[in-house]
Structures are given as structure tokens and as C-alpha cells.
């Protein structure tokens, strides 16, 4: 006997759109991007085709919307932290960055799908859609933060708009590092994963210092506690505090690389 289709819910348009995104996110996370169809999403959400296509024209639109939603939620958390911060423009900027990172650490389930897609080398078009979707939310926020620093006399930039675009581009080029960090953590080298991602964030922070005309060490992007929490959430295992970087870890990385970088796979990376 076939499973009964979920009863269709009568929702206002915005709640229906959010319900579609929530369902799609859960299915993509559980089954992989390639293994989920629009029909699967409609069945799971109990929605008609008309209800779906009123909001989205294709499955790829869901990815754009999910990326934008994650960006907006992280930015909202960062902005709340910025408003509550004490001190000048640099302190407000760092509070914003820490608040945004903390939200990501607390909501790793929401970004796992995006990380999986970034990790796959053949997903250039999907990554472009994600980048385009997040740019509209992130760049204006960066521009406002830079303007605040310039007005405060703390930042010295050549051009605020170009600076915001460069910083945004830095964050978008982080995908391969995310993939490697998640792979390392999954293979048992949790401390190596934390250091891999932390090193990248420290370099980005140093680049931001120069772009904003600040002294070295002013912009703080790397927060080890948040990185640990985020990676733990992404691989869904308990963090092992002991370093495990050795030949067996490298062998695991080599063996599991195709699996951890394939979005459609339903297999999980080997965990130790």
C-alpha cells in the first residue's frame, strides 16, 4: 500500500514559500542535490505544482533562495551583535563578523547543503547562482559597514564600493577550503580541520586590514570556538580534541575525496 500523500495545507504565499524551502533543504541534506526532484519536494510538502511554480520556476531557484536566506539570517545576527557592541567602528565590525559566524556555528544544518555544492568541482553554474543570490544581501551590508568606518575616521579606503566587492569575493573563494576542512574533520583530523579553516580566515582578516587601511590584526575573522562548533555540526560527530594528523588521515582523505566532493552521493564520508 502506497504511503498517503501529506494533506495539502492552506498557507499564505510567504509561509508557503518558506515551507517549500524548508522541505527542499531537508531533502537536499538527506538525499543529496542530484537525487531530489521537484516532484519529491511537492510530495513531501503536500503542495500542488501551481503552489510551487508560483514561487519558483525551477529546482535551481530553490538553491538561490536557500543561499539568500542563509546569508540574510547570518547578516541579521551579525547586525544585532553590531548594534549591541561598544567601541568604535572596528569594534562594531568585529562584533558583526563574530555574530554572523556564531549564527552559522549554531545553524550548521542550514548551510550543509550549500557547503556540499561548493565542494563539488563540477558545480560551477550552481555556485554562480549561489554567489549571485547572496551578493545582493551581503555587498550592501559590507558597504554600510565600510561607510560607518570611513565616517568614524577609522577606515581609509580607496573606494568603498570596490572594497566591498573585493571582500565579498574573498568570502566566495572560501569553498575549496570549506570542503577540505570538512573532509579532514570527517577523517578524524578535527584539529587539522580547525587550523585549515582558521588559517584561511586569518589570511582574509589580514587582507581586510590592508583594504580598510587598518593596522595588522585589527579585523578578526577567525574564532576557534565557533569554527569547532560549526565543523562539528557539519559532520555531525563529536569533536575529538586530540590531534590526529598522520598517514592514516591522509589515506582517508585520498580515499574519500571523490565521495566528499560529490553532491549527489547519499553516502556519508568515513567517520572514525
> What pLDDT score does 13 carry?
73
pLDDT at 272 over 70: no
pLDDT for the residue 178: 87
| Confidence bin at 266 (pLDDT 50/70/90) | very low
What is the pLDDT, as a whole number, of residue 11?
60
Domains, in order of start, for the chain: 12-57 (1.10.10.60), 60-260 (1.10.357)
Alpha helices in the chain (DSSP H): 13-31, 38-45, 49-53, 59-83, 89-106, 108-119, 124-151, 160-172, 175-186, 190-212, 224-235, 247-260
The pLDDT of residue 249 is above 80 = no
pLDDT for 98: 95
pLDDT for residue 16 is more than 50 = yes
What local confidence, expressed as pLDDT, does residue 44 receive?
93
Distance of alpha carbon 64 from alpha carbon 213, whole angstroms = 34
What value does the mean pLDDT of the chain take? 85
Of 247, 246, 130, the closest CA to residue 178 belongs to 130
Amino acid at each position: 500500500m502506497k504511503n498517503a500523500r501529506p494533506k495539502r495545507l492552506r498557507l499564505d504565499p510567504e509561509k508557503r514559500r518558506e515551507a517549500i524551502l524548508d522541505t527542499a533543504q531537508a531533502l537536499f541534506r538527506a538525499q543529496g542535490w542530484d537525487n531530489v526532484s521537484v516532484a519529491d519536494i511537492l510530495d513531501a510538502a503536500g503542495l500542488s505544482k501551481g503552489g510551487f511554480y508560483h514561487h519558483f520556476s525551477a529546482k535551481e531557484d530553490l538553491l538561490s533562495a536557500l543561499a539568500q536566506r542563509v546569508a540574510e539570517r547570518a547578516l541579521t545576527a551579525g547586525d544585532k551583535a553590531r548594534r549591541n557592541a561598544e567601541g568604535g567602528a572596528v569594534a562594531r565590525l568585529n562584533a558583526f563578523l563574530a555574530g554572523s559566524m556564531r549564527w552559522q556555528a549554531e545553524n550548521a544544518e542550514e548551510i550543509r547543503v550549500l557547503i556540499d555544492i561548493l565542494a563539488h568541482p563540477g558545480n560551477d553554474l550552481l555556485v554562480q547562482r549561489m554567489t549571485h543570490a547572496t551578493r545582493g544581501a551581503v555587498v550592501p551590508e559590507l558597504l554600510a559597514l565600510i561607510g560607518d568606518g570611513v565616517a568614524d575616521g577609522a577606515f581609509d579606503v580607496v573606494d568603498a564600493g570596490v572594497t566591498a566587492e573585493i571582500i565579498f569575493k574573498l568570502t566566495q573563494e572560501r569553498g575549496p577550503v570549506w570542503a577540505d576542512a570538512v573532509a579532514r574533520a570527517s577523517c578524524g583530523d578535527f584539529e587539522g580541520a580547525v587550523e585549515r579553516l582558521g588559517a584561511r580566515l586569518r589570511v582574509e582578516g589580514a587582507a581586510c586590514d590592508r583594504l580598510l587601511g587598518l593596522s595588522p590584526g585589527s579585523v578578526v575573522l577567525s574564532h576557534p570556538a565557533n569554527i569547532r562548533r560549526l565543523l562539528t555540526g557539519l559532520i555531525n560527530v563529536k569533536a575529538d580534541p586530540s590531534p590526529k594528523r598522520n598517514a592514516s588521515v591522509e589515506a582517508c582523505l585520498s580515499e574519500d575525496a571523490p565521495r566528499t566532493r560529490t553532491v549527489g552521493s547519499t553516502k556519508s564520508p568515513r567517520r572514525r
